[in-house]
Amino acid sequence: MFDSWESTVAVVVVILIAYAVVLSIGAIYWTYRDVRGRTRDGWAQAVSVLLVAIFNMPGLLLYLILRPHETLNEAYERRLEAEVLMREMPEERPACPGCQRPISEEFIVCPQCRTKLRQPCASCGRPLDLNWTACPYCATPSARAETSPPASSAAQDGPPPPAEEPTAATSTSSISAKSPTPSAAKE
Ligand SMILES: [Zn+2]
Ligand SMILES: [Zn+2]
């Protein structure tokens, strides 16, 4: 009677120990696979596996709290998406020649560095490119065309534009006046 009771306890204890061993081996193996998907750092991998091997379930809990949030695959996909976005951005939006921040085609000055980008038409008020000599919408000659004689306007280097213009805007406008394609001059 007493003997059989003792042996029953022994069997239960053996089963519990076997269960715990299988569980901890499973936890160690799962941690090993999980951490390899999250970091390439050998030290971090070893510490994570040792943490679970020594402390078992509390170690596993600690690992779940401390492990890197992203798997390597997720990080790779996020980098890929960011690269695609970076490649598409500059072609869609023009940049300010003064500070390189994105600007709109309609801006007259850069809202960040106040570089003069365009001038409003004297008649209809639409934004005109600084090297245009007439408004394309209402055919009014622009202020730039009025200040210099039309015969020499194509080949001018010298005559300085109005004094209130910032230097960055005057240099870009004189460059683009000489070369027919401003985008080619930038490259
Ligand atoms: Zn700017
Ligand atoms: Zn106009």
Task: Measure 168 CA to ligand 2 centroid, in angstroms.
Answer: 25
- Residues near ion ligand 2 (CB < 5 Å) are 121, 123-124, 135, 137-138, 140
Enumerate the domain spans of the chain: 2-72, 118-186
pLDDT of residue 185: 45
> Looking at the CA of 172, which ligand is closest?
1
pLDDT of residue 169: 47
Encoding tokens for residue 44?
Answer: 């971090």
Task: Measure 162 CA to ligand 2 centroid, in angstroms.
Answer: 20
Distance CA 162, CA 147 (A): 9
List the pLDDT tens digit at each of the 187 positions of the chain: 557 888 999 999 999 999 999 999 999 999 999 999 999 999 999 999 999 999 888 999 999 999 988 899 999 999 999 988 887 765 667 889 889 888 888 899 999 999 999 999 989 989 998 888 999 999 988 876 555 544 444 444 545 555 554 554 444 444 444 445 444 444 4
> Looking at the CA of 101, which ligand is closest?
1
pLDDT of residue 14: 96
Q: What pTM was estimated for this model as a whole?
A: 0.43
Task: Measure 11 CA to ligand 2 centroid, in angstroms.
Answer: 97
pLDDT of residue 157: 52
DSSP classification of residue 112: T
Task: Answer for the pair 138, 123: CB distance below 8 angstroms, yes or no.
Answer: yes
**In 3-state terms, what secondary structure has residue 134?**
strand
The alpha carbon of residue 61 and the mean position of all alpha carbons in its chain are separated, in whole angstroms, by: 34
Give backbone dihedrals phi and psi of 28, rounded to 5 degrees, phi first: -65, -45
Distance CA 82, CA 141 (A): 45
Task: Answer for the pair 94, 107: CB distance below 8 angstroms, yes or no.
Answer: no
Task: Measure 98 CA to ligand 2 centroid, in angstroms.
Answer: 26
CA 166, 94, 161 angle in degrees (round to 5)?
Answer: 25
pLDDT of residue 77: 93
Q: Euclidean distance between the first and final Cα of the chain, in Å? A: 96
Give the DSSP letter string of 137-184: TT-PBPHHHHHS-TTTSSS--S----TTS-HHHHHHHHHHHHSS-HHH
Task: Measure 83 CA to ligand 1 centroid, in angstroms.
Answer: 24
Task: Measure 147 CA to ligand 1 centroid, in angstroms.
Answer: 26
Distance CA 11, CA 176 (A): 91
The one-letter amino acid code at 96 reads C
Task: Answer for the pair 136, 147: CB distance below 8 angstroms, yes or no.
Answer: no
Neighbours of 100 (CB within 10 A): 12
> Looking at the CA of 137, which ligand is closest?
2
